[in-house]
Chains A and B, each alone.
Chain A
Amino acid sequence: MNATGPSRLWNHEARRRTARLTRCAAFLRGKEVAAADMVPFLEAVLEPGDRVCLEGNNQKQADFLAAALADCSAQRVHDLHLVQSVLALPEHMTLFEKGIARRLDFSFAGPQAHHLARLVQDRAIEIGAIHTYLELFGRYFIDLTPQVCLIAAQAADAAGNLYLGPNTEDTPAIVEATAFKSGIVIAQVNELRDALPRVDVPADWVDCFVVAPRPHHIEPLFTRDPAHITEIQVLMAMMAIKGIYAAYGVERLNHGIGYDTAAIELLLPTYGAELGLKGRVARHWALNPHPTLIPAIEAGFVERVHSFGSEVGMEAYVAARPDVFFTGPDGSLRSNRAFCQMAGLYACDLFIGSTLQMDLDGNSSTATLGRITGFGGAPNMGSDARGRRHASAAWLQAGREKCGGGPPVRGQKLVVQVVETWREPHHPTFVERLDAWQLQEDMGLALPPIMIHGDDVSHVVTEEGVANLLLCRTPEERSQAIRGVAGYTPVGRARDRRFVENLRDRGIIRRPEDLGIDVRQATRDLLAARTIKDLVRISDGLYQPPKQFRNW
């Protein structure tokens, strides 16, 4: 080894960490910072150009810390590089408008999608990349490690141990990356307790905490009121259950969050049971605790659920069903987005979800003009994991269909898109060209923001039928199979009728009648619950829906 001189230092990061803690020591009583001191405290800790994770998940938000950071002086704190999964709060946008932050690497921007697109066009923000959750978490440990993270927890004790509550979400991944690379971990907590129900983050990984004036915001994103499920969605759910779940024997799966998949959840205990599928399909789930899953759990369909996050109102129900959910000794849910995404990618045989647009290659996108929504987790769960090596019956059957009958060297994940042919009047779901391509040009992105790539999609379910893309042998067969279920959209009307009938004869396209489904049976009467109140009753009063979902 070459001698580089005795003066070389190997602990720059640790020294920098010590300097930060020294600068802010005056504000600390033990590890606690007063809420009123939060702005000067952050100004003391942060340095221009820092990589900061301001914890924004798709549910839980470190909203007090976000507001404090937005109130910092842009003279003292500027040009930050934000590395966080979700941009949901108006304060996140203020950071860029004030110049406190300049660069962004993220996954999802649901409620701020319009605002974000405007900032990009105004060059008020530099976007590094739009990631999937797993990619971003991966980069936390490679090249996007936060120097400071601002996280949200349910409670702290005086020593600084944290209890994260049911909405663990991204926190473990963020803290692991920050705390073990000489970063600073700052937590906002809802309450200070003498004893925590359980310790999710040990005190020596936490540098300081603040008791926020208000509990952090959690959005009930996964509650779908069964009252809004339409009979078309019931029909599509019947086709998915009979044509895919039963046909492949899908035992391990993940669902999207739309009404289409909520309909499937509510049909399992009724239609699914009539088909004799209990114990044969949908046993193991990577899924948040969806209220619409309650009837299938109570009916014994669902055996195990691991969750990315939680859902407001499901706390008592989850705590009362520890055989099904992952819970701590205190009874409350332990979720973990990174692990659940990994489970969805590698351990599930099926992903099913909806989208806003699909083209003739089967590429689908939720990006529409003027909005940068990002991806979240769908691309991880909705993709074939080419590193997978363990087999299951569903995975092998899909693999055999894809390779045309010969002995498969690998299986194939079932990636199902369930969509109505028109998402609203004048807006067909099926299009010749995705808006994503235009968005790529407008925003100067490296790639079009495609949510699920066509070569990963195995099935498309619409009210017109199921298209099995695994069985298609040529690009033309594939595009005609998609046209063949695209209904009266321009794409659907441009089908070659004889070609499509031929695909039907080969079982590539299957209409409801081909599946033995009587469309007259597709009524809301088939749902195991028709209202939120039904869900509460079926849960024996354990599910406590937020007030915007109750009429009592």
Chain B
Amino acid sequence: MNRIPGKSYREATARQRVAGLLDADSFAEWVGPAARATSPHLAALGLPCSFDDGVVVGQGRVEEAVVTIIAQEGQFNGGAVGEVHGAKIRGALQRAVRERPTAVVFCIDSGGVRLHEANAGLLAISEIMRALLAVQGAGIPVWALVGGSCGAFGGMGIVARLCDAVVMSEEGRLGLSGPEVIETVMGVEEFDARDRALVWRVTGGKIRRTLGEATVLVEDRLSAFRAALESLRHSCPVALPRTLDALQAVQDQLTARATRESDLRDGQALWDRLGLGADAAWMDTAQFNRRLQELA
């Protein structure tokens, strides 16, 4: 028997992801480990700090094209956004507006705001959103990659949906309130956060792809995410237009979907309605993508 092919994206650290996604040796980091830009809030609370505050930002190349890359480290405080962490992301986005790379690659792996940093974290999220819109306003597309163990939740779930393309693996998750939050607030009858299969059927890559919120669904391999970036250069070369008409069209689509699917409580129910089959959750990624395409 051979090994499972390829390095897992989900299990990779932020730095391994950056190395695996970019052309070899093309990465130049901004505010790197030597800068020791760490969180003053965590230090004040006597909590462990990380030398990069849990996010790696910089510039590199994908097939020779220059990109700005941002990668959150899910293994440090669940990728949560604090003041310094947020400032590094915002700064990278603002620099992208000036330097005009081909695209911004945003590896999101985060539960949202870092609660220890309260308002500073909330402010950071809104600054990220504003900066991201400015990048898109300059015509530069932002591609989100969601395949880490923390998924993209809270404010970072909103940020993911602002992006021009979202690449997900089946193992990735995207949502606003995390499963445990929903269970705590609404009760276990509403949502059983320990039912992992349910969590994935509601927030995982397959259902997000089915709903169109993920643009591409790939295998959980670093090389598959890299291949998705290569094809996005052709399929999503510029930022989506943010005209009032375009936004209104999206709003209308969402309203229609909310009405049409208001009775569905589970991803499987949608797959059943679409005729994707009882084994949709089980299919491998290639098969799932093929079935989805056949039905489209």
Contacts and interface: CB of A to CB of B under 8 A. Distances in A.
B1 A269 contact: yes
A31 interface: no
A270 interface: yes
Q: Could you say which interface size class chain B belongs to?
A: 20 to 34
Interface residues of A, number: 23
Interface string B2-38: 1110011001000000000000000000000000000
A524 B199 CA distance: 25
Contacts of B1: 269-270, 273, 295, 298-299, 528, 538
Contact of A550 (B11, B197, B284): B197
Main secondary structure of the interface of A (DSSP, over half): helix
Interface in B88-116: none
B3 A548 contact: no
A296 to B, nearest CB: 8
Interface in A506-552: 524-530, 534, 537-538, 541, 547-552
Contacts of B204: 551-552
Nearest to B206: A552
B3 A525 contact: yes
B195 interface: yes
B197 A270 contact: no
Given A299-B1, A529-B4, A524 B11 contact: yes
B196 interface: yes
A551 B3 contact: no
Nearest to A295: B1
Nearest to B204: A551
B234 to A, nearest CB: 31
A47 B199 CA distance: 51
Given A524-B11, A547-B195, A552 B4 contact: no
B2 to A, nearest CB: 8
A547 B3 contact: no
A237 to B, nearest CB: 14
Interface string B185-197: 0000000001111
A128 B204 CA distance: 53
A552 B3 contact: no
Contacts of A548: 194, 196
A547 B198 CA distance: 9
Nearest to A274: B3
Nearest to A298: B1
Nearest to B282: A552
A528 B199 contact: no
Given A273-B1, A530-B8, A552 B194 contact: no
Given A528-B4, A547-B195, A551-B204, 10 more contacts: A269-B1, A270-B3, A298-B1, A524-B11, A525-B3, A528-B1, A538-B1, A550-B196, A550-B197, A552-B282
26 contacts: A269-B1, A270-B1, A270-B2, A273-B1, A295-B1, A299-B1, A524-B11, A526-B3, A527-B3, A527-B4, A529-B4, A530-B8, A537-B284, A538-B1, A541-B282, A547-B195, A547-B196, A548-B196, A549-B196, A550-B197, A551-B197, A551-B199, A551-B204, A552-B170, A552-B197, A552-B282
